[in-house]
Amino acid sequence: MKLAFPTVKTLWRWFIRIVVGYFGFSFILVLAYALLPVPFTLTMIPDALNGNGITKSWTPLSQISPNMARAAIAGEDEKFCSHHGFDWDAMQAAWRADENGHRIRGGSTISQQTAKNVFLWQGGGLFRKGLEAYFTFLIEHIWGKRRIMEVYLNVAETGIGTYGAQAGAERYFGHSAANLSPTEAARIAAVLPLPKHREAIDPTGFVRRHGNRIAGLIGVVRRDGLDRCLY
Protein backbone atom coordinates (compact mmCIF):
# COMPACT_ATOMS: atom_id res chain seq x y z
CA MET A 1 0.00 0.00 0.00
CA LYS A 2 1.43 3.32 -1.09
CA LEU A 3 1.07 6.41 1.04
CA ALA A 4 -0.16 9.43 -0.85
CA PHE A 5 1.76 12.49 0.21
CA PRO A 6 0.23 15.87 -0.51
CA THR A 7 1.85 17.85 -3.27
CA VAL A 8 3.52 21.18 -2.74
CA LYS A 9 0.60 22.81 -4.52
CA THR A 10 -1.88 21.18 -2.13
CA LEU A 11 0.14 22.19 0.92
CA TRP A 12 0.40 25.74 -0.36
CA ARG A 13 -3.36 25.82 -0.94
CA TRP A 14 -4.04 24.67 2.62
CA PHE A 15 -1.56 27.21 3.97
CA ILE A 16 -3.35 30.02 2.13
CA ARG A 17 -6.70 28.82 3.46
CA ILE A 18 -5.42 28.74 7.04
CA VAL A 19 -3.92 32.22 6.78
CA VAL A 20 -7.04 33.71 5.17
CA GLY A 21 -9.23 31.93 7.72
CA TYR A 22 -7.16 33.23 10.64
CA PHE A 23 -7.18 36.82 9.50
CA GLY A 24 -10.87 36.63 8.62
CA PHE A 25 -11.75 35.24 12.06
CA SER A 26 -9.52 37.75 13.85
CA PHE A 27 -11.15 40.63 11.98
CA ILE A 28 -14.60 39.41 13.01
CA LEU A 29 -13.41 39.05 16.61
CA VAL A 30 -12.12 42.63 16.64
CA LEU A 31 -15.46 43.83 15.29
CA ALA A 32 -17.34 41.88 17.96
CA TYR A 33 -15.21 43.22 20.81
CA ALA A 34 -15.82 46.75 19.59
CA LEU A 35 -19.27 46.31 21.15
CA LEU A 36 -19.18 43.29 23.46
CA PRO A 37 -17.30 42.76 26.73
CA VAL A 38 -14.19 40.58 26.47
CA PRO A 39 -15.17 37.43 28.41
CA PHE A 40 -11.76 35.76 28.74
CA THR A 41 -8.11 36.15 27.71
CA LEU A 42 -5.18 33.78 27.37
CA THR A 43 -3.46 35.60 30.25
CA MET A 44 -6.19 34.37 32.58
CA ILE A 45 -5.61 30.68 31.81
CA PRO A 46 -2.70 30.12 34.25
CA ASP A 47 -4.70 31.65 37.11
CA ALA A 48 -7.68 29.49 36.20
CA LEU A 49 -5.53 26.34 36.19
CA ASN A 50 -3.28 26.87 39.22
CA GLY A 51 -5.99 27.61 41.74
CA ASN A 52 -5.63 31.38 42.01
CA GLY A 53 -9.07 31.87 40.55
CA ILE A 54 -10.16 34.82 38.44
CA THR A 55 -11.80 37.95 39.76
CA LYS A 56 -13.11 40.44 37.21
CA SER A 57 -16.11 42.66 36.67
CA TRP A 58 -16.66 44.36 33.32
CA THR A 59 -17.21 48.06 33.91
CA PRO A 60 -17.91 50.75 31.29
CA LEU A 61 -15.39 53.56 31.12
CA SER A 62 -18.14 55.98 32.16
CA GLN A 63 -18.30 54.13 35.50
CA ILE A 64 -14.55 54.21 36.13
CA SER A 65 -13.06 57.29 37.73
CA PRO A 66 -11.17 59.46 35.22
CA ASN A 67 -8.32 59.29 37.73
CA MET A 68 -7.73 55.67 36.67
CA ALA A 69 -7.44 56.40 32.95
CA ARG A 70 -5.23 59.40 33.66
CA ALA A 71 -3.03 57.29 35.93
CA ALA A 72 -2.68 54.70 33.16
CA ILE A 73 -1.69 57.40 30.70
CA ALA A 74 0.79 58.92 33.16
CA GLY A 75 2.35 55.59 34.04
CA GLU A 76 2.17 53.65 30.80
CA ASP A 77 1.67 55.85 27.75
CA GLU A 78 1.68 59.65 27.97
CA LYS A 79 1.24 59.95 24.17
CA PHE A 80 -1.83 57.69 24.13
CA CYS A 81 -4.14 60.32 22.64
CA SER A 82 -1.66 61.55 20.03
CA HIS A 83 -0.11 58.40 18.56
CA HIS A 84 -1.73 55.89 16.20
CA GLY A 85 -0.94 52.81 18.24
CA PHE A 86 2.85 52.96 18.28
CA ASP A 87 5.23 55.28 20.14
CA TRP A 88 8.28 55.07 17.89
CA ASP A 89 10.43 57.22 20.18
CA ALA A 90 9.75 54.95 23.17
CA MET A 91 10.40 51.85 21.07
CA GLN A 92 13.75 53.21 19.85
CA ALA A 93 14.73 54.11 23.42
CA ALA A 94 13.88 50.56 24.54
CA TRP A 95 15.95 49.08 21.71
CA ARG A 96 18.92 51.30 22.56
CA ALA A 97 18.68 50.35 26.24
CA ASP A 98 18.63 46.67 25.30
CA GLU A 99 21.66 47.04 23.03
CA ASN A 100 23.58 48.83 25.78
CA GLY A 101 22.68 46.20 28.36
CA HIS A 102 20.59 48.57 30.46
CA ARG A 103 17.33 47.83 32.22
CA ILE A 104 14.56 48.01 29.61
CA ARG A 105 11.60 50.24 30.24
CA GLY A 106 8.68 49.01 28.21
CA GLY A 107 8.17 50.72 24.87
CA SER A 108 4.69 49.28 24.34
CA THR A 109 1.75 51.64 24.19
CA ILE A 110 -1.58 51.04 25.91
CA SER A 111 -2.94 50.10 22.47
CA GLN A 112 -0.24 47.45 22.02
CA GLN A 113 -0.75 46.11 25.53
CA THR A 114 -4.50 45.89 24.93
CA ALA A 115 -3.99 44.04 21.65
CA LYS A 116 -1.63 41.58 23.37
CA ASN A 117 -3.82 41.06 26.42
CA VAL A 118 -7.03 40.48 24.47
CA PHE A 119 -5.93 38.53 21.42
CA LEU A 120 -2.51 37.01 22.14
CA TRP A 121 -0.29 35.40 24.74
CA GLN A 122 2.38 36.88 27.01
CA GLY A 123 6.03 36.72 26.10
CA GLY A 124 8.22 37.98 23.32
CA GLY A 125 9.31 36.77 19.93
CA LEU A 126 9.10 38.38 16.51
CA PHE A 127 6.09 36.30 15.45
CA ARG A 128 4.01 37.41 18.43
CA LYS A 129 5.22 40.98 18.02
CA GLY A 130 4.11 40.89 14.40
CA LEU A 131 0.63 39.73 15.36
CA GLU A 132 0.55 42.36 18.10
CA ALA A 133 1.25 45.07 15.51
CA TYR A 134 -1.53 43.69 13.30
CA PHE A 135 -4.11 43.72 16.11
CA THR A 136 -2.92 47.13 17.30
CA PHE A 137 -3.54 48.54 13.82
CA LEU A 138 -7.02 47.00 13.75
CA ILE A 139 -8.20 48.22 17.16
CA GLU A 140 -6.82 51.71 16.56
CA HIS A 141 -8.88 52.00 13.36
CA ILE A 142 -11.98 50.03 14.40
CA TRP A 143 -12.34 50.63 18.14
CA GLY A 144 -10.88 54.09 18.64
CA LYS A 145 -9.12 55.44 21.71
CA ARG A 146 -12.04 55.47 24.15
CA ARG A 147 -12.88 51.81 23.51
CA ILE A 148 -9.22 50.81 23.71
CA MET A 149 -8.90 52.43 27.13
CA GLU A 150 -12.19 50.88 28.27
CA VAL A 151 -11.03 47.39 27.29
CA TYR A 152 -7.56 47.95 28.74
CA LEU A 153 -8.96 48.97 32.12
CA ASN A 154 -11.09 45.82 32.14
CA VAL A 155 -8.56 43.18 31.09
CA ALA A 156 -5.27 44.45 32.53
CA GLU A 157 -4.06 42.30 35.42
CA THR A 158 -4.14 44.35 38.62
CA GLY A 159 -3.09 41.59 41.02
CA ILE A 160 -2.81 37.83 41.26
CA GLY A 161 -5.99 36.51 39.65
CA THR A 162 -7.41 40.04 39.60
CA TYR A 163 -8.29 41.67 36.29
CA GLY A 164 -9.51 45.18 35.61
CA ALA A 165 -9.84 48.43 37.49
CA GLN A 166 -13.10 47.47 39.17
CA ALA A 167 -11.74 44.22 40.61
CA GLY A 168 -8.54 46.00 41.62
CA ALA A 169 -10.41 48.79 43.39
CA GLU A 170 -12.52 46.29 45.30
CA ARG A 171 -9.51 44.13 46.20
CA TYR A 172 -7.26 46.92 47.44
CA PHE A 173 -9.60 49.65 48.62
CA GLY A 174 -12.99 48.05 49.21
CA HIS A 175 -14.99 50.29 46.88
CA SER A 176 -15.85 50.66 43.21
CA ALA A 177 -13.57 51.99 40.49
CA ALA A 178 -15.93 54.96 40.15
CA ASN A 179 -14.64 56.31 43.47
CA LEU A 180 -10.89 55.87 42.99
CA SER A 181 -8.91 58.83 44.31
CA PRO A 182 -5.80 60.01 42.46
CA THR A 183 -3.58 58.24 44.99
CA GLU A 184 -5.53 54.97 44.76
CA ALA A 185 -5.60 55.05 40.96
CA ALA A 186 -1.86 55.77 40.89
CA ARG A 187 -1.14 52.79 43.14
CA ILE A 188 -3.09 50.46 40.86
CA ALA A 189 -1.25 51.90 37.85
CA ALA A 190 2.08 51.29 39.61
CA VAL A 191 1.14 47.61 39.97
CA LEU A 192 0.34 47.10 36.27
CA PRO A 193 3.84 46.31 34.94
CA LEU A 194 4.34 43.40 37.41
CA PRO A 195 0.93 42.60 38.92
CA LYS A 196 1.93 39.22 40.36
CA HIS A 197 4.81 40.73 42.34
CA ARG A 198 3.38 44.06 43.50
CA GLU A 199 0.63 45.19 45.86
CA ALA A 200 -1.22 48.51 45.92
CA ILE A 201 -1.76 48.34 49.68
CA ASP A 202 1.07 49.82 51.76
CA PRO A 203 3.51 49.75 48.83
CA THR A 204 7.22 50.07 49.48
CA GLY A 205 10.32 50.75 47.41
CA PHE A 206 9.81 51.21 43.68
CA VAL A 207 6.04 50.72 43.82
CA ARG A 208 5.68 53.54 46.36
CA ARG A 209 8.00 55.87 44.44
CA HIS A 210 6.43 55.07 41.09
CA GLY A 211 2.92 55.41 42.52
CA ASN A 212 3.73 58.79 44.05
CA ARG A 213 5.16 59.95 40.74
CA ILE A 214 2.05 58.85 38.86
CA ALA A 215 -0.22 60.50 41.44
CA GLY A 216 1.62 63.76 40.88
CA LEU A 217 1.22 63.48 37.11
CA ILE A 218 -2.54 62.83 37.07
CA GLY A 219 -3.23 66.54 37.36
CA VAL A 220 -0.72 67.22 34.58
CA VAL A 221 -2.50 64.75 32.29
CA ARG A 222 -5.77 66.57 32.87
CA ARG A 223 -4.31 70.09 32.65
CA ASP A 224 -2.38 69.44 29.45
CA GLY A 225 -5.25 67.58 27.77
CA LEU A 226 -3.33 64.32 27.45
CA ASP A 227 -6.69 62.58 28.03
CA ARG A 228 -8.56 64.64 25.42
CA CYS A 229 -9.46 61.57 23.37
CA LEU A 230 -11.36 60.15 26.35
CA TYR A 231 -13.23 63.05 27.98
Digit-coded pLDDT (tens) for 89-125: 766 665 555 555 544 455 799 999 999 999 999 887 8
Question: Of 151, 150, 168, which is closest to residue 159 (Cα–Cα)?
Answer: 168
pTM of the model: 0.89
Question: Of 226, 224, 221, 217, which is closest to residue 186 (Cα–Cα)?
Answer: 217
Q: Which residue ranges form the domains of the chain, and what is each CATH number?
A: 40-223 (1.10.3810.10)
Give residue-wise pLDDT tens across range 50-65: 888 899 999 999 999 9
